[in-house]
Amino acid sequence: MSYPTSMAINGKSYAKSVEPRTLLVHFIREECGLTGTHVGCDTSNCGACTVLLDGDAVKSCTVLAVQANNRQVTTVEGLANEDGVFSPVQEGFRQEHGLQCGYCTPGMLMAATALLKETPKPTEEEIRQNLEGNLCRCTGYEMIVRSVQWAADNPDGVPVAIGESS
């Protein structure tokens, strides 16, 4: 049996009929074609599937699509602005080399985005605690922490150099 399920993802409406067991991550990737959200484990361990649900970071492999019915979802595709300018957190990862293979990166970006919304100036300890549920096999986390610190220090994104026209 399928249930009509609709939600706004990155401000766009998606309405599909899905089985009640369909996970939100599969709804996002397979029904809506937004493959920026990754599946690393499917067992709530790695955080690669993290998205924002009504502004809160959730592991989308732990949420049923029907539980997100009539709610707002933000995925990594929704972070940059319409002109493709990176959000401060994305820019931080670029500036501080916060990724290697990139598999964990969408989840890291979403978790960090939620953190900075709640705590715009987190301590290093708070950043590490917040990203505890997001695993990275490549970076050793140091550059990821620095990337989030960069975003906290540059809430408007890339600083414009003196003499550079906007």
Backbone angles phi, psi at 84, to 5 degrees: 85, 10
3-state DSSP assignment of residue 4: strand
137 makes contact with ligand FES (CB under 6 A): yes
Q: How far is the CB of 115 from ligand FES (least distance, A)?
A: 17
CA distances from 7 to 4, 32, 54, 91, 140 (A): 10, 11, 11, 28, 36
Using the rule CB under 6 A, give the single segment among 5-13, 65-73, 80-88, 134-142 that binds ligand FES: 134-142
Instruction: Determine the Cα–Cα distance for residues 107 and 76; give it in Å rounded to an integer.
Output: 8
What the block records as the tokens of 146 is 């620095």
138 makes contact with ligand FES (CB under 6 A): yes
Among 100, 128, 143, 154, binds ligand FES (CB under 6 A): 100
Nearer Cβ to ligand FES (18/46): 46
Which residues from 20-49 bind ligand FES, rule CB under 6 A? Answer: 39-42, 44-49
For residue 126, the tally of other CB atoms under 10 A from its CB is 15
Q: How far is the CB of 140 from ligand FES (least distance, A)?
A: 10
Residues contributing to the site for ligand FES (CB under 6 A): 39-42, 44-49, 59, 61, 99-104, 136-139
